[in-house]
Amino acid sequence: MSRAGLAKLLRANAHHGAIPKFKRNLMLREFIASQGCSAQTMAKAALDYMVFGEAYFYRIPNAFGQTVELDHLMAINMRVKVKGGYRMLLPDNKFEDFDQDEVVHIKDYDVEQNIYGIPDYLGGLQALLLNEAATLFRRRYYSNGAHAGYIFYTNDPDLTEEDENELRAQISASKGVGNFRSMFVNIPGGAENAIKIIPIGDFQAKDELEKVKNITRNDVIAAWRMNPALAGIIPETTGGFGDIEKIDRVYTSNEIRPICQLFNQVNDHLRDDRKISWSNPKNTDETPTSGNAS
């Protein structure tokens, strides 16, 4: 799976691009920074985890070999070496190698391999690409002026060759800026139904765009396991989605805090006085806990 490809897909769809940062923000809300890991470092690593299913930290040691601070390593450029250790790809075909004990690798377990992490949303990529294709189709539909989508059919013997050429010119002229035009045709003595417009398929009139966008949007949100109320979806019923604060608490408890627990792995390497911590999951109104999350 191309890391660069996954990164570019963040710009393919509004929800797919916004959800990982939203989940990152929810995670930062729970995070309590320390001298060993700043909020900025955790923000970068958390976004890497949401997008790529893994994050990397560089362990900065003191003179005694204790890890006193963590620095973020961009997951898009990190590779696991076959014989142990890590390699960070640099521009101009250069690279930098790290020993196994210099890097903390946070990854979501994949049942097919245990080398890299893998994001959960991969099952929704086809819906994401279809959503993007539907949007691009509509943009091109308006931009290139190909709004006909029909067969202009005539069988009137009174239609001269000059008239036919003029009709061809008028139809061709309907393309481009200002292409939504009306056409007037007058055939003196022409028979009834001498001209027929046979639609080929009107993407706009049948609301196919709305159907495709809604279905694929729901698939993308499901792939991210995101609650619609938190994803900026406008409710289709008057009752809405319910209590947004309760939805937020449940979602944070079931989705965000388990990810926080995975990041507690960094505390196995940080010096005791520099370990990270998280807000109390039982009562957010209480004073935040210190050390590992409960």
Q: What is the pTM of this model?
A: 0.77
Give the total residue count for the chain: 294
pLDDT one-digit tens code per residue, 265-278: 999 999 999 999 99
> What angle do the packed helices 125-143 and 208-223 form, to 10 degrees?
150
Which residue blocks in the chain are alpha helix, DSSP H? Answer: 3-9, 14-30, 39-52, 125-143, 161-172, 208-223, 244-251, 257-263
Residue 176 has what pLDDT?
53
Q: Which of 202, 201, 219, 204 is nearest to 131 (CA)?
A: 219
11-53 per-position pLDDT tens digit: 999 999 999 999 999 999 999 999 999 999 999 999 999 999 9
Give pLDDT tens digits for 207-221.
678 888 899 999 999
pLDDT digits (tens, 9 = 90+) for 169-224: 776 666 555 554 555 566 666 666 777 766 655 555 456 788 888 999 999 999 99
b/e 124-135 (16+ beta carbons within 10 angstroms → b): bbebbebbbebb
DSSP, collapsed to helix, strand or coil, labels residue 221 as helix
Spatial distance between the Cα atoms of 117 and 105, rounded to a whole number of angstroms: 9
* Bridge partners, residue 88, by sequence: 78, 96
